[in-house]
Structure 1
Amino acid sequence: MLEHVTDQAGLKQAVKVYKALGEPTRLKIALLLTEERNLCCTDIKSKLESIAGSTLSHHLKQLTDCGLLEQRKDGTYVFFSVNREVARKYAPYLLD
Protein backbone atom coordinates (compact mmCIF):
# COMPACT_ATOMS: atom_id res chain seq x y z
CA MET A 1 0.00 0.00 0.00
CA LEU A 2 2.73 2.51 0.87
CA GLU A 3 5.35 1.44 -1.68
CA HIS A 4 6.09 5.10 -2.43
CA VAL A 5 7.42 5.71 1.10
CA THR A 6 10.25 3.19 0.91
CA ASP A 7 12.75 5.89 -0.03
CA GLN A 8 14.02 8.29 2.64
CA ALA A 9 12.33 11.40 1.18
CA GLY A 10 8.97 9.64 0.92
CA LEU A 11 9.29 8.39 4.47
CA LYS A 12 10.05 11.88 5.78
CA GLN A 13 7.10 13.38 3.92
CA ALA A 14 4.77 10.64 5.18
CA VAL A 15 5.79 11.38 8.76
CA LYS A 16 5.19 15.12 8.25
CA VAL A 17 1.76 14.54 6.70
CA TYR A 18 0.65 12.13 9.43
CA LYS A 19 1.99 14.41 12.15
CA ALA A 20 0.13 17.39 10.66
CA LEU A 21 -3.12 15.42 10.37
CA GLY A 22 -2.75 14.10 13.91
CA GLU A 23 -4.04 17.40 15.27
CA PRO A 24 -7.88 17.59 15.16
CA THR A 25 -8.14 21.18 13.89
CA ARG A 26 -5.69 20.51 11.05
CA LEU A 27 -7.64 17.40 10.09
CA LYS A 28 -10.83 19.50 10.00
CA ILE A 29 -9.11 22.07 7.78
CA ALA A 30 -7.88 19.36 5.40
CA LEU A 31 -11.34 17.76 5.22
CA LEU A 32 -12.94 21.16 4.60
CA LEU A 33 -10.50 21.92 1.79
CA THR A 34 -11.17 18.59 0.09
CA GLU A 35 -14.82 19.61 -0.16
CA GLU A 36 -14.28 23.26 -1.03
CA ARG A 37 -11.23 24.32 -2.99
CA ASN A 38 -9.57 27.72 -3.06
CA LEU A 39 -10.65 29.10 0.28
CA CYS A 40 -8.89 32.06 1.87
CA CYS A 41 -8.15 32.32 5.60
CA THR A 42 -11.29 34.36 6.23
CA ASP A 43 -13.49 31.72 4.57
CA ILE A 44 -11.81 28.88 6.46
CA LYS A 45 -12.10 30.76 9.75
CA SER A 46 -15.80 31.45 9.26
CA LYS A 47 -16.53 27.80 8.45
CA LEU A 48 -14.56 26.42 11.40
CA GLU A 49 -15.70 28.99 13.98
CA SER A 50 -14.03 29.59 17.33
CA ILE A 51 -10.45 29.61 16.03
CA ALA A 52 -8.13 32.58 16.35
CA GLY A 53 -6.57 33.96 13.18
CA SER A 54 -3.02 33.40 14.43
CA THR A 55 -3.83 29.80 15.35
CA LEU A 56 -5.37 29.22 11.93
CA SER A 57 -2.27 30.64 10.25
CA HIS A 58 -0.11 28.24 12.25
CA HIS A 59 -2.23 25.25 11.22
CA LEU A 60 -2.24 26.31 7.56
CA LYS A 61 1.55 26.66 7.63
CA GLN A 62 1.94 23.14 9.07
CA LEU A 63 -0.33 21.69 6.38
CA THR A 64 1.43 23.62 3.64
CA ASP A 65 4.93 22.74 4.88
CA CYS A 66 4.17 19.00 4.76
CA GLY A 67 2.93 19.38 1.17
CA LEU A 68 -0.71 18.57 1.85
CA LEU A 69 -1.95 22.07 1.00
CA GLU A 70 -1.15 24.27 -1.94
CA GLN A 71 -1.50 28.02 -1.82
CA ARG A 72 -2.22 30.57 -4.51
CA LYS A 73 -1.84 34.31 -4.06
CA ASP A 74 -4.30 36.72 -5.62
CA GLY A 75 -3.56 40.28 -4.59
CA THR A 76 -3.50 40.40 -0.82
CA TYR A 77 -5.40 37.11 -0.45
CA VAL A 78 -3.92 33.63 -0.20
CA PHE A 79 -6.16 30.78 -1.27
CA PHE A 80 -5.64 27.22 -0.07
CA SER A 81 -6.47 23.87 -1.67
CA VAL A 82 -5.57 20.27 -0.91
CA ASN A 83 -2.70 18.91 -2.99
CA ARG A 84 -4.59 15.91 -4.31
CA GLU A 85 -1.46 14.05 -5.38
CA VAL A 86 0.00 14.17 -1.86
CA ALA A 87 -3.40 13.32 -0.35
CA ARG A 88 -3.74 10.33 -2.68
CA LYS A 89 -0.32 9.03 -1.63
CA TYR A 90 -0.43 9.57 2.12
CA ALA A 91 -4.02 10.24 3.19
CA PRO A 92 -6.43 8.84 0.59
CA TYR A 93 -9.26 8.80 3.14
CA LEU A 94 -9.41 12.59 2.79
CA LEU A 95 -10.59 12.17 -0.79
CA ASP A 96 -13.40 9.68 -0.08
Structure 2
Amino acid sequence: LLGVRAVIAQSFERIHRSNLVGMGVIPFVFEEGTSWASLNLKGDELVEIDGLSTIKPRQTMIAKVTYGDGTVKNVPIICRIDTLDELDYFKNGGILQYVLRDLAA
Protein backbone atom coordinates (compact mmCIF):
# COMPACT_ATOMS: atom_id res chain seq x y z
CA LEU A 1 0.00 0.00 0.00
CA LEU A 2 2.87 2.34 -0.79
CA GLY A 3 3.78 2.94 2.84
CA VAL A 4 0.31 4.03 3.98
CA ARG A 5 0.05 3.43 7.73
CA ALA A 6 -3.23 5.19 8.50
CA VAL A 7 -6.35 6.62 6.85
CA ILE A 8 -8.43 9.38 8.45
CA ALA A 9 -12.04 9.68 7.27
CA GLN A 10 -15.42 10.96 8.39
CA SER A 11 -16.69 7.37 8.62
CA PHE A 12 -16.09 3.91 7.17
CA GLU A 13 -18.36 1.22 5.82
CA ARG A 14 -17.87 -1.88 7.96
CA ILE A 15 -16.18 -3.90 5.21
CA HIS A 16 -13.85 -1.05 4.20
CA ARG A 17 -12.72 -0.56 7.80
CA SER A 18 -12.15 -4.30 8.15
CA ASN A 19 -10.19 -4.45 4.88
CA LEU A 20 -7.90 -1.62 5.98
CA VAL A 21 -7.13 -3.39 9.25
CA GLY A 22 -6.54 -6.63 7.35
CA MET A 23 -3.94 -4.83 5.22
CA GLY A 24 -2.18 -3.41 8.29
CA VAL A 25 -3.55 0.13 7.91
CA ILE A 26 -5.14 1.91 10.88
CA PRO A 27 -8.54 3.47 10.15
CA PHE A 28 -9.14 6.68 12.09
CA VAL A 29 -12.28 8.82 12.21
CA PHE A 30 -12.71 12.44 13.17
CA GLU A 31 -14.49 13.16 16.43
CA GLU A 32 -18.15 14.14 16.16
CA GLY A 33 -18.49 17.66 14.79
CA THR A 34 -15.10 17.65 13.04
CA SER A 35 -14.64 17.09 9.32
CA TRP A 36 -12.14 17.75 6.57
CA ALA A 37 -14.27 20.74 5.59
CA SER A 38 -14.34 22.21 9.12
CA LEU A 39 -10.55 21.82 9.26
CA ASN A 40 -10.23 23.53 5.85
CA LEU A 41 -8.10 20.68 4.48
CA LYS A 42 -7.00 21.15 0.88
CA GLY A 43 -4.58 18.26 0.33
CA ASP A 44 -1.25 20.02 0.79
CA GLU A 45 -1.11 19.34 4.54
CA LEU A 46 1.35 17.12 6.38
CA VAL A 47 -0.34 14.89 8.97
CA GLU A 48 1.63 13.22 11.76
CA ILE A 49 0.23 10.74 14.29
CA ASP A 50 2.58 9.85 17.14
CA GLY A 51 2.23 6.73 19.27
CA LEU A 52 1.17 4.20 16.62
CA SER A 53 3.42 1.55 18.19
CA THR A 54 1.51 1.75 21.49
CA ILE A 55 -2.00 2.18 20.09
CA LYS A 56 -5.02 0.54 21.74
CA PRO A 57 -8.45 -0.30 20.28
CA ARG A 58 -10.82 2.69 20.08
CA GLN A 59 -8.13 5.01 21.47
CA THR A 60 -8.42 8.76 20.94
CA MET A 61 -5.19 10.16 19.54
CA ILE A 62 -3.96 13.48 18.20
CA ALA A 63 -3.22 14.13 14.54
CA LYS A 64 -0.79 17.02 14.14
CA VAL A 65 -1.84 18.78 10.93
CA THR A 66 0.69 21.17 9.40
CA TYR A 67 -0.94 23.35 6.76
CA GLY A 68 0.79 24.57 3.60
CA ASP A 69 1.35 28.00 5.18
CA GLY A 70 3.12 26.42 8.18
CA THR A 71 0.34 26.75 10.74
CA VAL A 72 -0.22 23.70 12.94
CA LYS A 73 -3.43 22.31 14.42
CA ASN A 74 -3.79 19.34 16.78
CA VAL A 75 -6.89 17.35 15.83
CA PRO A 76 -8.38 14.58 18.01
CA ILE A 77 -9.05 11.39 16.02
CA ILE A 78 -10.43 8.01 17.08
CA CYS A 79 -8.74 4.72 16.22
CA ARG A 80 -11.18 2.30 14.59
CA ILE A 81 -9.18 -0.79 15.38
CA ASP A 82 -11.99 -2.22 17.48
CA THR A 83 -10.65 -5.49 18.92
CA LEU A 84 -7.43 -6.95 20.30
CA ASP A 85 -7.37 -9.42 17.38
CA GLU A 86 -7.43 -6.51 14.93
CA LEU A 87 -4.64 -4.88 16.90
CA ASP A 88 -2.57 -8.05 16.48
CA TYR A 89 -3.20 -7.94 12.71
CA PHE A 90 -1.98 -4.34 12.59
CA LYS A 91 1.11 -5.04 14.70
CA ASN A 92 2.04 -7.89 12.36
CA GLY A 93 1.61 -5.80 9.20
CA GLY A 94 -1.76 -7.27 8.22
CA ILE A 95 -3.73 -10.48 8.50
CA LEU A 96 -1.64 -12.39 5.93
CA GLN A 97 1.61 -11.69 7.78
CA TYR A 98 -0.13 -12.54 11.07
CA VAL A 99 -1.20 -15.96 9.75
CA LEU A 100 2.21 -16.67 8.20
CA ARG A 101 4.01 -15.82 11.45
CA ASP A 102 1.57 -18.01 13.37
CA LEU A 103 2.19 -20.94 11.00
CA ALA A 104 5.97 -20.48 11.22
CA ALA A 105 5.93 -20.52 15.03
Q: Report TM bin, short chain.
A: under 0.3
Instruction: Select the structure that is richer in helix.
Output: 1
The TM-score normalised by the length of structure 1 is: 0.27
Instruction: Select the structure that is richer in strand.
Output: 2
The TM-score normalised by the length of structure 2 is: 0.26
Structure number with bigger Rg: 2
